[in-house]
Amino acid sequence: MTSATRASWCITGANGLHLARECAAVKARPGFRCFWKSAVWLSYASFLLDRLAVESHCQPELFRLAESAMDHASARPANINLALWFELHAISAAGFRPRLDSCCACGSDSLQPDGRLLFS
């Protein structure tokens, strides 16, 4: 269980899977009830975590990142910056880091002298 939920009791079922019968929130985040964009982002972040988390592996960095992002999204409406920040950090925590320093097609430097990033 993550620090966000607590199971009152669990049953070990077939194939060693744990079935939570009763769960309660340990850390309530009421902002998700007020900010609909944050609630939509939470749904997307949950989907992304489900895809990135490796079964039977401990990934505390990934879940600390998710908890931090949920705290942020609960305090104010989520926007595209939070989504992009979370995506980049989540894939990095899962072991996939995109190369943003140079073009993968031609090898030229992506960072321009005026500070812009160009991608082909």
| Block mean pLDDT (10 aa), the chain, length 120 | 50 62 74 89 91 84 90 91 91 82 74 70
- What is the structure's pLDDT at 71? 92
Q: What is the pLDDT of residue 102?
A: 74
Prediction pTM value: 0.64
**How much is the pLDDT for 22?**
65
What are the structural domain ranges in the chain?
A: 31-97
CA atoms within 13 A on the CB side of 56: 3
4/104 Cα distance (integer angstroms): 39
> Is 38 in contact with 73 (CB distance < 8 Å)?
yes
The pLDDT assigned to 14 comes to: 63
